[in-house]
Structure formats: structure tokens, C-alpha cells
């Protein structure tokens, strides 16, 4: 049975006990409602550590006031069952109720209902310390979700301080998030190896996401246009089409023809995430598109 810890001090004690035994600790941060993509991250973490911790915490700090935190799907019991099915298993699940101090008295670890830490949080005694990776978080998803990466970087910093892992695994589907965390770890001198695991896809090619459950069968079929168009773009680049504008236009056309609404479709340098006009080295084609009320992200690395 997986050990479940909700208290921060207990989590620290567990990690210190593992470290005293000379064991390397791997961490997979999640927001729960796990799918095969998350489980692949756990398997990757197992390859680089002796014990594996998975955190399950829906982070309110990365939701803006116009995003409904309450609609984020959850199935904690189902998550535990899935984690128990992973070869080698998971050693501990860190499942805190709340990681923010709201400055209103009482037990700081008790979840505060209907409160969201966001850019409009103005309680003078509440949480006010944020971690921000200034340049990497501005483009791509950062344009339409301005507080998202600030919230991600802050809560991951908290998790790193509490769990104290040697290795942390993030999925490349959230490519910008992975690069933001890598840069944060470098800049703040965390002694943690950050690993990016490849995108996990369903048999039809759709990138696995907790949001996929909200797609109707028709929307899901149309959403396949994202991966199909990215594969075509990668093939075209391999055949010599290195004009990014032409590649972008073909992907945008394919997705919009399928009924999707583009948030962004950009070809950027894999490390700096800055836009490029011509493919001259390793790039990544990143896409975010809406199908109905569901926003999906995907990407394709192109290494010429």
C-alpha cells in the first residue's frame, strides 16, 4: 500500500529518513486525476532514483480569477489505485490540503474553501512571496495565462523545499513549464536534476491530458488535427521547408479547418523559447488550441 502523507513536516521527516539511508529521491509533481502520461513520469523517475514520491495538489496559485479552480477534475482514490499499478511502485504520495498561508489565523495547513491565491490576492497578512522566471514565462502560454508560470514556479519551489528530491520529472507536453523549471533550478542553485519525459499519446495520437475528459467524441476527433498537423510540419521541415511562417500557416489552417480556435502556434528555440523565422537548429513547434471550452496544448521537437 502506498504511504500517503499530508503534513509538510511529516513529508520532510520521510525524505530525511530516506536520505540518511543513502537513497536517492525522485519526485513527480502532479495535480491529480492521473492518466497513463503521469504514470510514465513515475516510471522515468524510478529509473533515476531509489524511492519515488508523487505529489498530488491542485495548485490555486496558477489559476487566474477568471479560471474556475472548482472544475478541475479529481479522483484521489482512483489516483492511488493507478499509482499502485506502476511496476516498482510509488513509495509515498504527498497530498497536502493547502500550501499557502492566507493570513487569517487558525491552522495554516487547513484548506480554505473558495479562496484562490492569484494576482488579485490582497490580504496584507497572506501569501505574498512568488518565484518568477522573468523571460521564459512571457511567451506561449504566458501570454494568455499571465499568472500561470508564477504560480507553477512558486509551488514547485515549495515542493522542492518540502520533499527535497534529488531528481524531479516533468512531462514535455508542458514544454514551457519544463523549461521554466529547469531555468529556475539552475538560477536558484537547487541541487536537483530536472528530467523532461517525452509526450505520451493515446493510440489515436492525441496527447494525454486531464482535460481530455471534457471533450465530446466529436471534439476529440477534431482535436486530432493538432498532432496530425505537427507531424506534417516536422516531415516538411525534414524535406527542406525551413520557413517557419509557412509551417505555421499550414498548422493553423489544418486546426481551424477542423473547428479549432488557435490560442498560439509558434516555432521557438528549444532552450530560449524565442521565436525563430528560419529553422537552423533545434526548435520546438508549440500549439495551444480550443475545441469547444477545452484548451489543449501540444508540441513537436524538430531537430535538423
> Which residues are marked as active site?
38
* Residue 297 near residue 143 (C-beta atoms within 8 A): no
Question: Rounded to an integer, what distance in angstroms lies between the CA atom of residue 85 and that of residue 219?
Answer: 30
Closest CA to 229 of 175, 283, 237: 237
Question: Rounded to an integer, what distance in angstroms lies between the CA atom of residue 275 and that of residue 235?
Answer: 20
Between the CA of residue 216 and those of 39, 105, 173, 262, 296, what are the distances in Å?
24, 44, 21, 18, 13
Longest alpha-carbon distance in the chain? 63
Q: Going by C-beta distance under 8 Å and a sequence separation of 6 or more, which residues neighbour residue 55?
A: 27, 28, 29, 30, 93, 94, 95, 96, 159, 163
Please identify which residue in the block is written with the cell numbers 509526450.
199
Please identify which residue in the block is written with the cell numbers 482535436.
223
Between the CA of residue 18 and those of 15, 42, 166, 274, what are the distances in Å?
5, 18, 11, 40
Question: Rounded to an integer, what distance in angstroms lies between the CA atom of residue 278 and that of residue 302?
Answer: 12
Amino acid at each position: 500500500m502506498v504511504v500517503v502523507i499530508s503534513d509538510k513536516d511529516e513529508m520532510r521527516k520521510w525524505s530525511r529518513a530516506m536520505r540518511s539511508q543513502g537513497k536517492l529521491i525522485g519526485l513527480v509533481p502532479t495535480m491529480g486525476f492521473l492518466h497513463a502520461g503521469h504514470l510514465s513520469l513515475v516510471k522515468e523517475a524510478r529509473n533515476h532514483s531509489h524511492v519515488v514520491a508523487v505529489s498530488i495538489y491542485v495548485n490555486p496559485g496558477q489559476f487566474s480569477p477568471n479560471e474556475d479552480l472548482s472544475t478541475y477534475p479529481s479522483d484521489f482514490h482512483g489516483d492511488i489505485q493507478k499509482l499502485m499499478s506502476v511496476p516498482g511502485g510509488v513509495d509515498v504520495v504527498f497530498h497536502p490540503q493547502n500550501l499557502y498561508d492566507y493570513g487569517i489565523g487558525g491552522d495554516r495547513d487547513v484548506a480554505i474553501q473558495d479562496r484562490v491565491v492569484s494576482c488579485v490576492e490582497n490580504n496584507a497578512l497572506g501569501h505574498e512571496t512568488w518565484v518568477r522566471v522573468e523571460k521564459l514565462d512571457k511567451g506561449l502560454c504566458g501570454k494568455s495565462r499571465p499568472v500561470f508560470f508564477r504560480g507553477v514556479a512558486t509551488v514547485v519551489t515549495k515542493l522542492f523545499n518540502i520533499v527535497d528530491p534529488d531528481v524531479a520529472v516533468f512531462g514535455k507536453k508542458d514544454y514551457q513549464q519544463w523549461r521554466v523549471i529547469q531555468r529556475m533550478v539552475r538560477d536558484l542553485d537547487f541541487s536537483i536534476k530536472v528530467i523532461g519525459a517525452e509526450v505520451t499519446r493515446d493510440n489515436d495520437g492525441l496527447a494525454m491530458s486531464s482535460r481530455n475528459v471534457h471533450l465530446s467524441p466529436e471534439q476529440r476527433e477534431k482535436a486530432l488535427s493538432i498532432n496530425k498537423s505537427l507531424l506534417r510540419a516536422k516531415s516538411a521541415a525534414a524535406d527542406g521547408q525551413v520557413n517557419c511562417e509557412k509551417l505555421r500557416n499550414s498548422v493553423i489552417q489544418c486546426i481551424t479547418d477542423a473547428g479549432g480556435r488557435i490560442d498560439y502556434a509558434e516555432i521557438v528555440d528549444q532552450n530560449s523559447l524565442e521565436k525563430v523565422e528560419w529553422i537552423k537548429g533545434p526548435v520546438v513547434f508549440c500549439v495551444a488550441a480550443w475545441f469547444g471550452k477545452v484548451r489543449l496544448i501540444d508540441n513537436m521537437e524538430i531537430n535538423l
